[in-house]
Amino acid sequence: MMPRTDLPWARPRALTLALLVMVGGCASPLFFRGQSPEPEDAIPEQPEGVRLIGDMTSPWGTNYVKLESVGLVNGLDGTGSDPPPGPQTAMLLQEMQTHEVHDPQKVLSSDTTSLVEVRGWMPPGIQEGEHFDIEVRVPPRSKSASLRGGWLMRSRLRELAVLDNELHSGSTLGLAEGQVLVDALFRGGDDAIHEKRGRILGGGVALKSRPLGLVVRRESSSILTSKAIGTAVNARFYSYNQGSKEGVATPKRDNFIELRVHPRYRHNLERYVRVVRSIALGESQAERAERLLMLERMLLEPTTAAKAALQLEAIGEDAVPVLRKGLESVDAEVRFYAAEALAYQDQVESVGHLVHAAADEPAFRWHALTALAAIDHVAAYDALTGLLNARSAEARYGAFHAMRVRNRRDPLVKGEILNGSFSFHVLSTNADPMVHFTRSRRAEIVVFGHEQRLEPPAFLYAGPQILIKGMDGERLKISRFAPGKEDQQEVCSTRVDDVVRCIARLGGGYAEVLEALMSARSQGYLTSRVLVDARPRQGRTYRRDEPVEAEPSTRHAETPVPGMFRDLLEEDQGERPSGESDGSGNIDPSPVAARQGFFGRMTGWWR
């Protein structure tokens, strides 16, 4: 069933769903709650007389801003419901009336619609017009049975806060809209809860950019200090605009410096801010020489290697010889942190060490892939291309994603858009055949190995309206049945890529292809691996080699988690697939602690 388009907010220029009436005086503090200074890591003690920018500043704008709303999903196949009376229903009815919806109560009471709670996280540094993921779920008291096949009408997203035991909202910071993919599609089975919540991949759009900056602490704030910090940052980080050299730091006030993101760090903003805060102020050549000796000792000690590498990266070109010494260490951890710091300075000798970490060490994998994506040299491109054949499914898909981030116009990863709804890529690889589906950022299917085939099935469903049947050993007949419409049929080969394209030509989307291939795999018609979101995971630990008599210890990768691979909705829920081999013998049993916001979920998810 197609979504209704007769509702006024279905028009592209319309907006929907105001949350709560604004309360005077709340807009400014609510907006700045998500922009306030964040906690920072301790900076190692420096030689006497040396001060780092981090000694007198705190980062600003590096947190993730939670946006929420109440929305309407339509286009349901009889699984919606009339919402019970309450604040949410009243809000939605009031908003529908402002858009002159004819008989809004009748629209709400239809079993083709459902009131839902909407949520998304705006990442730091996001620019106006950029997209982020959206989560929707049926409220606890609702009788709606499923959101499968539904479409979220455009909804305004706002930051919520609890003041004096009352819920208040800030200004509209984003919009949400799009096709709902229920959790049951990704998880399999018929769990009723997973039918009532889902995602819209990239369904949120930012209405405002989120700048980054440094807040000068009160005891240090002055115009001279702010200017000195800006000068020091711009001496280390700059870019060229039409041949003109431009620094990234702009002092705005005596206590605030705004930061533009250097292109090399655009997918690792937290690392960027930490490196900036590790820059020294007014350091003499003698002091720098002394500090380089100290940092070399720290770098070659595994327990302090990560912090030393960040400071060496902040020094820049003068520190490259020290970092190269780290590459010669017998300790794998030291080699990795040295290579990571060299990568963000575009040093090609880091590539081999990062490839090893990406392929064989899960604790460092996504850091290594993000660093490889930051290197301009062709050696990094060749390394990522080679990782498409890695044993680890995580490394293979991670390398593909890093290549798209590096250059989405590259013919190898550009792909095609099918049915206007999902991105499709077929790669020729020599590793075990695999089909990968994403669960964050965008609807994307990657086929690793172009000669994958289905055994002709007796019958196989791709959603409720598309049926796949074998004709003979080489051909399939795919049919679409829709009430009130003439049946459609197509014949294609048994190749997976042909099947996907055929489903798309018959009007099937991402959900239908996902259901078809997962069913084919579970019923034995497809021998290839079918994976969902085989991203490098957060919370991996690295076990150091230690003397037998020593107490065993485990360490997380100590550099900031790159945003390139994060799934904020998954982290917020504390969800994680069960411990499963990634194809290289590595197991990921570690959960991630759930984020807690106002009222817990949905500022309590309105509970």
Write down the pLDDT at residue 585.
31
Return the SS3 of 89: helix
Tens digits of residue pLDDT in 416-457: 999 888 999 999 998 899 999 999 899 999 999 988 999 999
Q: pLDDT at residue 590 above 50?
A: no
d(CA 593, CA 571): 7
Using alpha carbons only, what angle is made at residue 529 by residues 528 and 533, rounded to the nearest 5 degrees?
Answer: 145
Could you tell me the pLDDT band of residue 87, with boundaries at 50, 70 and 90?
confident
Could you tell me the pLDDT band of residue 86, with boundaries at 50, 70 and 90?
confident
Strand order across the beta sheet in which 475-480 lies: 460-461, 466-470, 475-480, 488-493
Token pair 């229903």: residue:
89
Closest by CA to 435, choosing from 510, 370, 355, is: 510
d(CA 389, CA 131): 30
Amino acid at 604: G
User: CB-hemisphere CA count at 13 Å for 50?
Assistant: 23
Determine what percent of the chain falls in helix, strand and coil, rounding each to the nearest 5. Answer: 35, 25, 40
Helices 351-360, 378-387: inter-axial angle, 10-degree rounding: 20
Q: pLDDT at residue 605 above 60?
A: no
Most confident stretch, 154-158, 444-448, 600-604: 444-448
Closest by CA to 200, choosing from 279, 118, 86, 91, is: 118
- The answer to which of 185-199, 223-237, 518-532 has the lowest mean pLDDT is 185-199
- The answer to which of 50-54, 167-171, 517-521 has the lowest mean pLDDT is 167-171
Strands 434-437 and 529-532, how do they pair?
parallel
Q: pLDDT at residue 476 above 90?
A: yes
Write down the pLDDT at residue 90.
86
What is the DSSP annotation of 132-185?
A: EEEEEE--TT------TT-EEEEEEEEEEEEETTEEEEEEEEEEEEEE-EEHHH
Q: pLDDT at residue 493 above 60?
A: yes
Q: pLDDT at residue 540 above 60?
A: no
Using alpha carbons only, what angle is made at residue 133 by residues 448 and 429, rounded to the nearest 5 degrees?
Answer: 10
Could you tell me the pLDDT band of residue 362, with boundaries at 50, 70 and 90?
confident
Q: Identify any residues that bridge with 467 across adjacent strands, giving them in sequence order.
A: 461, 479
What is the DSSP annotation of 200-247?
A: EEEEEEESS---EEEEEPGGG--HHHHHHHHHHHHHHSEEEETTEEEE
- The answer to which of 30-44, 205-219, 269-283 has the lowest mean pLDDT is 30-44
Find the distance separating the first CA and the last CA of the chain, reported in whole Å: 31
Left if phi > 0, otherwise alpha if psi is -120 to 50, otherwise beta: which for 162? beta
**CA dihedral of 539, 545, 546, 548, whole degrees rounded to 10:** 110
Locate 25 and state its tokens. 């005086």
Q: What is the mean pLDDT of the chain?
A: 82
Structural domains for the chain: 8-37+62-206 (no CATH), 51-59+212-265 (no CATH), 285-406 (1.25.10.10), 422-532 (no CATH)
Amino acid at 1: M
Tens digits of residue pLDDT in 313-333: 999 999 999 999 999 999 999
Phi, psi of 76 (to 5 degrees): -80, 150
Write down the pLDDT at residue 167.
62
Amino acid at 185: L
Q: pLDDT at residue 4 above 90?
A: no
